[in-house]
Structure 1
């Protein structure tokens, strides 16, 4: 291997970053001790993409708590250009304190944060000055933007996880399964439930109805994932869009008098499709959904969509648990029989109480079941929700997380 100046510089930078992380971990107990003795703790939520912001209710819970002063810090988007502007508009409409981050300055200099929550652990989505290694003067905590389901060292050992004070988990079973492949065997795991679960389990009346149709037709969500073809890492390639996308579209047309669809693709599906199809074909497919009399296109927050739906068809790993909480019929589109091999026990249980489909006939049969109000898996699904979706201690996940941060009540010895 030829050693170039660039390789040498990258190697030296990597070693320097590891040293900084080591020093940070040594300082973390002191930073935590100081933070917990403050009258008011400043918390920054880094948010540059609305559909995957799953800690909004934790943010609002902190706004109402006398010990926390939260702010939404909005990094300029890289992966989905312009999405940060949607976040800014949304926060201003809600009256949330927020700031667009200067890409050339570190986070604390702009927010005075004691604690920072990143939206995602993928550091390539952030400008260099906003990556965790450049911001080791704050306490880092993380709430995964979905339920924990994938057991894969590449997923469980993102570099940012090395420096977290807490990695908050949904339930004991998921945490226990992840410990084996985790870099530190789960020493910083904290089982609180996830804030998004609080919203999922709320009565539907608390979420506005996002559906545009009130004709009485059944409401079915179609949510295809972006992991299509062979363009994604093995073990996370759930997407069946290339096999089933046209099937669902044709069935939506066929049942236009009885079913109203919400087409809710993963935000990255359009981009990923352009790696396989040309831009015109991608645009034509999306436009066809938008033009249907019995469909609507959704690409933003979806709580009201979930709550006021009748069923869902999807191939997204995160929705395996999320939509189950609705306790409504749901079909998982199977790419193959081994697609769930790397899921933890909780997710495998959840996937078992899905209806499964690959073919036109199987998907159509599910749609007909929804129309006819047939749901033979209802009891099994309800049992799963009660056992694995509800946060511990009889409290909300948001309350548990705030108690963990402050080392109070059930988390006094954390």
Structure 2
């Protein structure tokens, strides 16, 4: 880790320092109150169905009479109302299909927002993102009478340490449940509260791939006799890269369409874009809404392809390989122990990753051009040649499984029960 100015270790912003102390004092009061309760109501906020990470935690709590879990679906306000409602309705449908108690926060009949704090009265709230993407009343500062919890919506591999660990949300939440000891060390270095609210639990999304589940797996692919490749482009396209510039979508969007046609008798491709890619393409001068919608439509209609914008657990479990330029998927897909190809935007991608991200990247095959992509498809996917398999399995065992050998979701639930019950 690079050295940082000493001032970063101090509470230079007195208002944030005061808020941190006030929030922690409120949490102490909430904990005292909860010790007298026999049933704890837990609210799970969700904005995008594709970044929902709390399946196993919800299920464990639903099986435990000590907890009463409920999901509340909140609006994503960075797109228009039509897109907002479509996402909310699709997310509600997904949650209800899982058998979860689900509340849609928007009342279309009365064009009003439901007061979750009043309706649910949650003792604990799990937030899905640390950003102000949703209605004000569904953000952390409206739930100071609850214990607030956060699992990062992506497995953190990028080098934006300040944004990843030292936002107001990260400092004010009751507990951040982080992936590994490496991630905690970054938080200790960059967060103004010195990571006093951090617990290393492992990453719950990986439980779906590292540990067996009683859940049935649904195969979303159109063919059973074709190899199954996921193409997952990131949202950080040129001009809107937020300092990361991972995305190679503009370089390879036509390549993957051509590959779907060229290998039509042998492979099928799932187009799994980052949920923010479409809105950025809408704003892009070269693309715009019509072209972007047409491109997405191609993958929804092509015979040996599919468009996947929802939960991707079953997609990962039933696939043969991943081709991508994302950050979180570096770790998430590696946990399946299947081969993955990383599309390098440039020769300096590793400089925009932190310590863990660099290790994850080293356990990928790499592509710098179209020919490298074809080699991966022909060799690693179609012929099954996987010389990196042993190295990848070692990485999974050493770095992706929680240190105590238990699923991350169980670690989180056990921790909460211990804190409340003593």
Q: Is the 8 A contact 2:40 2:123 kept in 1?
A: yes
1:69 counterpart residue number: 68
Question: CA 1:174 to 1:18, structure 2 compared with 1: closer, same or farther past 3 Å?
Answer: closer
Which one of the candidate residues 360, 365, 388 is aligned to 2:375?
365
2:7 counterpart residue number: none
Unmatched tracts of structure 2, length 5 or more: 1-12, 107-111
Distance in 1 (CA, whole Å) between partners of 2:406 and 2:329 is 23
Distance in 2 (CA, whole Å) between partners of 1:70 and 1:127 is 21
Q: How large is the Cα RMSD of the aligned pairs?
A: 2.4
Q: Cα distance, 1:119 vs. partner?
A: 0.9
1:384 partnered with 2:392:
no
1:198 partnered with 2:197:
no
Q: Cα distance, 1:85 vs. partner?
A: 1.4
2:98 counterpart residue number: 94
Q: Cα distance, 1:385 vs. partner?
A: 0.6
Question: CA 1:205 to 1:311, structure 2 compared with 1: closer, same or farther past 3 Å?
Answer: farther
- How do 1:85-234 residues align onto structure 2 when only pairs under 5 Å count? 85-101=89-105, 106-123=115-132, 125-151=133-159, 152-203=161-212, 206-234=215-243
Distance in 2 (CA, whole Å) between partners of 1:204 and 1:254 is 37
Q: Cα distance, 1:400 vs. partner?
A: 0.8
- The answer to which of 340-349 and 185-194 deviates more is 340-349
Kindly tell me the number of residue pairs found equivalent between the two proteins. Answer: 396
Q: Cα distance, 1:110 vs. partner?
A: 2.1
Secondary structure at the aligned position of 2:239 is classed as coil
Which one of the candidate residues 380, 405, 416 is aligned to 1:394?
405
Q: Is the 8 A contact 1:43 1:114 kept in 2?
A: yes
2:307 counterpart residue number: 297
Question: CA 1:402 to 1:204, structure 2 compared with 1: closer, same or farther past 3 Å?
Answer: closer
Q: Is the 8 A contact 1:28 1:165 kept in 2?
A: yes
Secondary structure at the aligned position of 1:155 is classed as helix
Q: Is the 8 A contact 2:222 2:303 kept in 1?
A: no
Which one of the candidate residues 242, 246, 258 is aligned to 1:250?
258
Cα displacement string for residues 55-102 of structure 1 (whole angstroms, at most 9, x for unaligned residues): 122111101112111111122332351211112222333332122226
- TM-score under structure 2 length normalisation: 0.87
Distance in 2 (CA, whole Å) between partners of 1:87 and 1:285 is 23
Which one of the candidate residues 264, 268, 281 is aligned to 2:272?
264
Q: Cα distance, 1:331 vs. partner?
A: 0.5
Q: Cα distance, 1:106 vs. partner?
A: 5.0
Distance in 2 (CA, whole Å) between partners of 1:107 and 1:280 is 37
- The answer to which of 286-295 and 154-163 deviates more is 286-295
- The answer to which of 312-321 and 385-394 deviates more is 385-394
2:33 counterpart residue number: 34
Distance in 2 (CA, whole Å) between partners of 1:290 and 1:85 is 19
Q: Is the 8 A contact 1:332 1:357 kept in 2?
A: yes
- TM-score under structure 1 length normalisation: 0.89
Cα displacement string for residues 90-129 of structure 1 (whole angstroms, at most 9, x for unaligned residues): 2333332122226656542121111111111111x11122
Q: Is the 8 A contact 2:342 2:361 kept in 1?
A: yes
Distance in 2 (CA, whole Å) between partners of 1:184 and 1:17 is 10
Q: Cα distance, 1:207 vs. partner?
A: 4.4
1:283 partnered with 2:293:
yes
Distance in 2 (CA, whole Å) between partners of 1:170 and 1:367 is 31
Q: Is the 8 A contact 1:174 1:345 kept in 2?
A: no
Distance in 2 (CA, whole Å) between partners of 1:106 and 1:16 is 28
Q: Cα distance, 1:16 vs. partner?
A: 7.9
Q: Cα distance, 1:406 vs. partner?
A: 2.1
Secondary structure at the aligned position of 2:72 is classed as strand
Q: Cα distance, 1:403 vs. partner?
A: 1.5
Q: Is the 8 A contact 1:175 1:189 kept in 2?
A: yes
2:334 counterpart residue number: 324
